[in-house]
Structure formats: structure tokens, C-alpha cells
Amino acid sequence: MVFTRLLILFLLWHGTDTAGANALEPPALEIMLDEPLQVTIAGQPASLAFVVGTVDHLILNDPLVQRLGPLLGSSRKADMFLDSKSKVDGKRSGAMLEIAGLRREQQLYWFPGQSVRPLDGSIGIMAVPHQLVRLQTGSPGAPLALRMPLAGDVDSTAYGLVNVADAQLAVTLNPSIRTSVPLIASTTGFDLASVMQGRFEGEPWDVVVMPGVRHTVRRLVLDTPLQLGRLSFGALAARFDAAQARRSGPKPRGKPLVVLTLSRTQFDEQGCSSLVVDKQQMSMALHCTGPGSLSHAKVAGAASAPAEASPSNSSQTLVATHQLEGLAAVPLPGVPGPAMAPDGFINLQVDQSVHVTIAGIPVELALNTGDLPGILLNEVAAMRLELGGRAQQSAITYGGRKITETNVARETVVAMERAAATNIIWLGGYNQEQFSGSIELSSLPHDRLRLRLSPEEPDARPVRLKLSLPRPKSARGTTELPGIARFEVNAGLQKRWQLPLVSKSLAADLARVLGGRLEGRPWLETLGYRLRRPVRRLVLAKPLVIGPLSFKVVAVQTGGTPDASNRLGRGQDVLPDADSDPDELVVTGKIAGGSTGRWLNLSRIQLAEQRCTSLAIDKPAMIWELMCRGPA
């Protein structure tokens, strides 16, 4: 079941330890199964059922839609197809959703005359604004039973990926149903028996998998039990009504996808206590005692990342400044400016939101640093502002391949009593920013801005690291070290990389000047919007020291080709020459790209480890300043 024009986007993750602490873990949503989730929608309280394994979108029942009324604004057509057989007429709109202290403007759906969901509606894992979700299904304490790469998105549901024979198993949970054995279905044209060898027994029966969707299944007794970590299953309920079509249909291209759905019965039988989904690390974990010992069982392997082009030399800038003439930042007549510190800086808090107006309409944004300049809106917010008619089309490509399309509009933005023409960017289907979107620190229309990262201690003596801004509207500093050419230093406040990330060309310089070696297996790191690339630990013989900052270990982007991976596994050097970093991120259309290709990216974790208290930019003086005490 999918919404029109919506596509399941599977992102693969390489399960490995990134050798980092769980410091500064993102806010987690913890909820007990079967308990209602208390939320506010457009400022009005509501009780939602928390669903898993169906459709994760925020879906409302008619009574709540009628109660919200004009607070929802204009709506658009959004039909839903049930199992490719029947269509339900629906509508969608946007509203600010608040759950457990986090707010995000996002899409919501309703289907007039189809109020079949419990409470006021339902919401799933991928639709809540939290990056970490813990669904408790029983008493805590069960060990980790299975960790899988996370796939799926808000248009579908959360899946975990496992490689089984010549197919890929997408494992999900649907606790709203009870079946004696797990449900399994495959893509059209794929013979399920080629992977799950066994025999059918008994008569077919019908299973209601969600309101309006009924499947005919038959018991498939496996020749060898399916072992997934601690979980073991000797029989499955296979889709029976489409079996002949699958045998005679066209063969699927690529590795076929087989969907395995665990019901509430399997969770009880397997002694499961929790499901943990980490959207940032792209992992799904089940904590269960399991039915028995694993000593003689064959365990299916976790899906690994496909061979990809090696990472970009510009992960921090996906879309560069829009090349249009616009207004400079000007104070509004008759409106007092924000309070300034004695040194002329405007002080901001790292987690505060900023209230702005875009084209005269109020919008609440999160503060961000180190990503694309301007404002990144959730798509639903761009729809509310009706920016589509004034947007220019663009695309983001990497290694010659298009990653995604993007839209850019140039609008007058009023922020903190000043107005300026600012780039407004949004991606189709992207609604993952907190509030209605985010604004890059340097895009605020003031000359001197200071971001407080942590409280200042009375006796602390932080060291001032002053670097040059490469351009006025930038939240990155540039520096150079003996034997190491100029590179950018970026503080990504919304990122949580466990190690500092360095570009390949900078890593080559570090290895040459400071000495070092690559260690451990590569893992996938989220670098930017819809961009995940393999990285590997580079242990330096001498620490990298930049003012008060000191790093003994960094993560370097590595080659993603099979040949590079093989050389990496043999311990051979795959770092490029310092002047050769061929992989580039290119933005097409009327958006100019631009990057040095040499960078050091720090996340919020490194800023905390280095005991940094503030980040400031002085646009007229072209100064980027970081105040830190250095590692303890």
C-alpha cells in the first residue's frame, strides 16, 4: 500500500562499531506498546495510536479534522491505494506537530468517511520528529537479539534489512495483528520457494494485515528454520493468492525483496521486550531472549553497503549560494533591533528556535551550522508558503549521478528585526528538519553572531581559535598548518559523528606530515541530506593540533569501489594524493557549486569533547571564532 507518487527509499547501512561513545545522544521517544501517544497538532491536543509495520504517516480521523478546521489551512488531494486493488480518496495538509518536546511541521493525511483508526488517528516510527525511538513491548532487560540496517521512510514504514540466499529480507513488526507464524511476501515475479525452501501444509486462510487490506496465506513449513540472530522460525504464512502470478511474472531486476512481518504473537513467543530504531545511525534493533540457543544455528547476515563511488569532497555544501541579486540585510524602520552584548555580538543558544517571516508569513526554524547556506524548509512548509510557483529547479549530483532534485526560491526573510533576500531550499519528500526547517547561522541578517554551545564555567580559561571566513555568508573557518595546505574547519551542530570527518585530500596530507595508519572496517556515515558514504578510522602518529583543538583519531572517506574495498581490506593505502580528490558533488541548474574540497568536519560530539563554549562569526571582519578549553 502506497500513496500516489510516493516511493520507498531503501538506504543501506554497514553494521559495525564506529568506536565512539554514546555521548550527546539525540532526544529519544520512549513509548509503551498499546499506550496512546499524546501530541499537539496545530496547537490542539490529540491522542494518537502508535503503529508499526503499516503506513507511518500521520493519519487523522474525521472528528479531529473537523475539530482542527481552519487551523489545517488548504488541503490537497492524496489518494491511497490498498494492495494495488482499490483506491481510497484522501486529502493532505500540513501542520505543526509536537511530541515529547520536539516540534516539526509535517504532512498529515485524512480520508473522509474512513474513520477506522483508534483514538484521534495514528502515527508511525518514521513520522515522529525524534531520531531515536524506543518501543517497549514488555519488561526491559532482554539482550540484543538482532541489529539490522534500517530501510524505509515515512511513506512506508521502518524495515530492517537482512541478506538471505539470493534475496534481501525486509523485516518489520506489526503488533496490531496476531498470526500463528510470521507473514512473508515477495516481489512480483519472484519464486519465494527458491529462497525459503519448504512445503505448504493445510488450507489457505485470510489475514487482515491492516484496515481494508486482507491477504490470503498458506502455512509454509521450512526445511531448515529461518534463524535471524536469536530469533528462530520453523514455519511462515506465505501469500497464497498471488503465488501463481509470481511464478509466471517477469523476473525482478536486482536482488529481490522479501518482506517478513512479525506479529504480536511472534514477539511474545520470542521473548521480545523492545524495538529500537535509530534514524541517524540507520539501524533497527530487536531485544529478545529468543526461543533457544544459537550454538548450532546458521545466522543470516546483515545487509552490507553496496559498492559506491568514493565520498564527496564537499559533503558539507550540497547546494551553494543562489546566484541572484537581492536585498542586503537592512533593519526594519521603526522596529528596535535585538539585544546585543557589549562587544556588539548577538548571543544565541544552540538549541533555540528562530521565528522569522518568509514572504510575510511566520515560520519557526532551527539554527544550523556547516550545511547549505540559506534556509532549508520541510516540503510541507514550502507548500504552505506556496513557494512552488516562484522556484527554480535544480539537481544535486555526485560522481556524475543525480542524488536528488531540489527547489530554490529567493524570498525576503525577516529574522530578528532585520530583512534580507535569502535562498529558500526544499527537497521533494524531505520533511526531516525540526520545526518548519532550519536556517544556517551565517544567513541570519546580522553582522556579528555568537552561538552559545555550553555554559561558561567561572574558573575556566578557554582558548580563542580565530580563523578566516572564506566568504561573508559562511559558518566555516579556513586555516593552514605547516606542510598542510589550506583547508576548511566546519562545526556541524546538528550532526553527531563519533569521530571528526576529514576529506580524502586532507587525510593524505595528515598521513604524510603527521604519520598514521588506517584501522578497522569501514562504516557508513551520514554526511548530508540523503548522502551516506563509507568512512574509516585514521589513527595519527602525532595528534592534529589546531589551536586548542587536538585529535588523535579521525574518520576519512574511503573509496567505495570493489577494487578499493579489496585494497582497503588488505591494508593497502587508498588515500589519494593531496592534489587529487576526484569525487565532486555538483549542483546543476542555476545554482553555483563551490567548495575547497579540503575540510575537517566536527560534530556536536567533538565540540563537547573539546569543551567548546561558543562559536562566533564576524562578517565585516571575516572572522570565524571558536572558544574551547581543549580535551580534558
0.85 exceeded by pTM:
no
Q: Which residue is associated with the grid cell 556541524?
A: 492
CB atoms within 10 A of CB 237: 23
| Distance (Å, whole) CA 543 – CA 611 | 17
Sign of the alpha-carbon torsion through 205, 2, 308, 191: positive
10 Å CB burial of residue 310 (0-12, 13-18, 19+) is buried
CA atoms within 13 A on the CB side of 23: 15
Pick the more confident residue, 277 or 575. 277
**Which residues are registered as beta bridge partners of 173?**
262
Strand, helix or coil at 142?
coil
Q: What residues contact 569, with CB distance under 8 A and at least 6 apart?
A: none
Residue 561 buriedness (CB in 10 A; 0-12 / 13-18 / 19+): middle
- Taking residue 124's Cβ as centre, other Cβ atoms within 10 Å add up to 24
User: ∠ CA 613-619-625 to the nearest 5 degrees?
Assistant: 25
Return the HEC string of 77-100. ECCEEECCCEEECCEEEEEEEEEC
Residue 565 confidence (pLDDT): 37
High-pLDDT (> 70) share of the chain, %: 75
At 345, the pLDDT band (50, 70, 90 cuts) reads very high
Residue 563 is placed in which grid cell?
577494487
Q: Tens digit of pLDDT for each residue in 40-57?
A: 999 999 999 999 988 889
| CATH 2.40.70.10, domain 2-135, yes or no | yes
Q: Please compute the mean of the pLDDT values over residues 510-529 and round it to a whole number.
A: 87
DSSP 8-state symbol, 589: E
Domain over 330-452 is classified CATH 2.40.70.10: yes
597: left (phi over 0), alpha (psi -120 to 50) or beta: left
When pLDDT is averaged across residues 407-413 and rounded to a whole number, the result is 92
Mean pLDDT for the stretch of residues 356-368: 92
The C-alpha atoms of residue 3 and residue 153 are separated, in whole angstroms, by 12
Residue indicated by cell numbers 526560491: 409
Phi first, then psi: give them for residue 381, nearest 5 degrees.
-70, -40
User: What single-letter amino acid sits at 371?
Assistant: D
608-620: average pLDDT: 94
Residue 424, pLDDT above cutoff 80: yes
Query: Residue 604 and residue 496: Cα distance in Å, rounded?
Result: 6
Domains in the chain: boundaries: 2-135, 137-302, 330-452, 463-628
Residue listed under C-alpha cell 516481489? 187
Least confident of 54-58, 106-110, 587-591: 587-591
**Using 50, 70 and 90 to split pLDDT, how confident is the model at 249?**
very low
Let me know: does 625 contact 618? Beta carbons within 8 Å: yes
Per-residue pLDDT at 307: 32
At CA 63, angle to CA 59 and CA 64, rounded to 5? 55
Q: What is the pLDDT of residues 218-238, one digit of tens each?
A: 999 999 899 898 899 999 999
The dihedral of CA 251, 257, 260, 261: what is its sign? negative
Query: How much is the pLDDT for 50?
Result: 93
Highest mean pLDDT, choosing among 165-169, 327-331, 475-479, 541-545: 541-545
End-to-end CA distance of the chain: 53
Q: What pLDDT does 584 receive?
A: 40
Q: Are 403 and 347 in contact (CB under 8 A)?
A: no
**Model confidence pLDDT, tens digit, residues 290-300:** 874 333 333 34
Count of Cβ atoms closer than 10 Å to residue 218 Cβ: 17
At residue 172, the pLDDT reads: 93
Rounded CA-CA distance 302/100 in Å is: 32
Q: Which amino acid makes up residue 209?
A: V
- Lookup result for grid cell 561513545: 21
Q: What pLDDT is recorded for position 569?
A: 36
Strand pairing class (463-468; 361-368) = unpaired
Burial of 391 (0-12, 13-18, 19+ CB in 10 A): middle
What residues have CB less than 8 Å from 239, skipping those under 6 apart?
Answer: 183, 184, 185, 186, 215, 216, 217
| 58-60 and 612-618 strand pairing | unpaired
> Which of these CATH numbers, 2.40.50, 2.60.20, 1.10.3470, 2.40.70, describes 137-302?
2.40.70
The three cell numbers of residue 73 are 489551512
Q: Is beta strand 437-440 parallel, antiparallel or unpaired with respect to 418-427? A: unpaired
Tell me which residue has cell 539501524. 283
**More confident call, 470 vs 513:** 513
Span 80-106, average pLDDT: 84
Are 137-302 and 463-628 in the same CATH fold?
Answer: yes
| CA–CA separation, 535 and 498 (whole Å) | 11
Q: How confident is the model at residue 512 (pLDDT cuts 50, 70, 90)?
A: very high
Q: Are 479 and 547 a contacting pair, CB within 8 Å?
A: no
User: In this model, does residue 125 exceed pLDDT 60?
Assistant: yes
Is the domain covering 463-628 a CATH 3.30.70 domain? no
- Mean per-residue pLDDT, 302-321: 31
Distance CA(478)–CA(470), nearest Å, equals: 6
Query: Which of 79-93, 237-251, 438-452, 610-624 is least confident?
Result: 237-251
Distance between CA atoms of 622 and 368, rounded to whole angstroms? 19
Sign of the CA dihedral running 613, 619, 620, 624: positive
**Does residue 364 contact residue 355 with C-beta atoms inside 8 Å?**
yes
pLDDT at 58 (0 to 100)? 94
Q: Give me 476's grid cell.
A: 566555516
Query: 206 is written with which cell numbers?
Result: 485470510
Q: Which residue has the higher pLDDT, 102 or 319?
A: 102
Instruction: Determine which of 71-85, 193-207, 417-431 has the lowest per-residue pLDDT on average.
Output: 71-85
DSSP class of residue 23 equals: T
- What is the residue-wise DSSP string for 510-557? HHHHH-EEEEEEEEEEEEETTEEEEEEEEEEEEEEEETTEEEEEEEEE
Residue 491 pLDDT greater than 80, yes or no: yes
Strand partners, 123: 50
Cross-strand pairs, 233: 226
Distance CA 470, CA 580 (A): 21
φ, ψ at 259 (rounded to 5°): -100, 125
User: For residue 296, what are the contacts with CB-CB under 8 A and spacing of at least 6?
Assistant: none
Mean local confidence (pLDDT), 555-569: 54
Reported as a pLDDT band with limits 50, 70 and 90, residue 396 is low
